[in-house]
Amino acid sequence: MKYLLLAAAAASLASPVQAQEATEVPSPGEIAAAAPAKDWVAIPTSDLLVMDLAPDAKGKARRVVLQLMPAPFSQGWIGNIRKLAAAHWWDGTSVNRVQDNYVAQWGDATEKKPLPEGLVTVPESEYSAPPHILVAHETRSPALAPSPHRPRGDAYAEFTGFVAGWPVAYDHQSEWPIHCYGMVGVGRNMSPDTGSGAELYAAIGHAPRHLDRNIALVGRVISGIEYLSSLPRGTGPLGFYEDEAERVGIRSIRLASDLPAADQPRFEYLSTDSDAFTNYADARANRRDPFFIRPAGGADICNIPVPIRPIAAK
């Protein structure tokens, strides 16, 4: 609220002409909101994972919705996750690790719960995909394109961009999803273990890009991230809860398509192939709305979150 008041004060000091010009520059959110219906892509309910946590201390329900990543990325782990959800494996497990500015992690804290049959072991080579698979579908926003004076515009990869609504990095050999805020990955032990998908985490701090291609990314939180990011931090090593009473119970995790129709959440994202997204990305990289004094001239890939919104029930 404070910064909104500061923006209002700055506008009041401008001349009438300046104020009028300032209000004519849409913010990134306004650009997304004004995008035509054809630019929005519905997310299949079969790609949504619904996690219902135990109610909070005041009895308030806590629902977290995750979107699973599309092919060709991480499909072995995602296949396992679908089987785990169908088997109701996560029911009665918990959020057992919350590390400040890093991750919130959930699964079986005892590590004794039997896994369902049919899970596959996925090799480390699946942390990335060959570039030719995605080249026909990729969109590289002008706001993210490297300048002639800065051929490598990202600290972790040769290039970055968006593919089918997802942030990715790539070079001449491969493409891979990246760790932005809210992304969901698979917990694992030391290499060559790659994790089954039974232990998952969500990034709740500064984008941990050093994890890219070291851990499988399988999706992102699109609703309810606050129920993970606001949890008390664990006091044990790496933020694990030391006391069982500290853990946050998980009532259920289901694919949205397996829920009763009336309880299925529905969401859509702004197509990264659309002109509206190009304008949105440019606005994120060059803020021209009234509060800002100087456009930055660029943006980190994780500072251009793909707009996602719920679809109103009919």
Indicate the pTM of the whole model: 0.87
Is the pLDDT at 18 greater than 50? The verdict is: no
Q: Beta strands 166-170 and 159-163: pairing type?
A: antiparallel
pLDDT digits (tens, 9 = 90+) for 49-62: 999 999 999 999 99
pLDDT per residue over 145-155, tens digit each?
Answer: 444 434 457 89
pLDDT digits (tens, 9 = 90+) for 247-264: 999 999 999 999 999 999
Which of the residue ranges 5-14, 21-30, 167-176, 208-217 has the most confident prediction, judged by mean pLDDT? Answer: 208-217
Give yes or no for residue 108 having a pLDDT over 60: yes
222, pLDDT greater than 50: yes
Of the two residues 66 and 292, the one the predictor is more confident about is 66
Listed by start position, the domains of the chain span: 42-110+119-274+296-310
Predicted pLDDT of residue 168: 95
Average pLDDT (3-30) is 49
| pLDDT band at residue 313 under the 50/70/90 scheme | confident
**Would you say 171 and 159 are in contact if contact means Cβ atoms under 8 Å apart?**
yes
Predicted local confidence at residue 15, as pLDDT? 36
Mean pLDDT of 180-201: 98
Q: Give tens-digit pLDDT for 87-100.
A: 999 999 999 999 99
CATH assignment of 42-110+119-274+296-310, among 3.30.1370.60, 3.90.800.10, 2.40.100.10, 1.20.120.140: 2.40.100.10
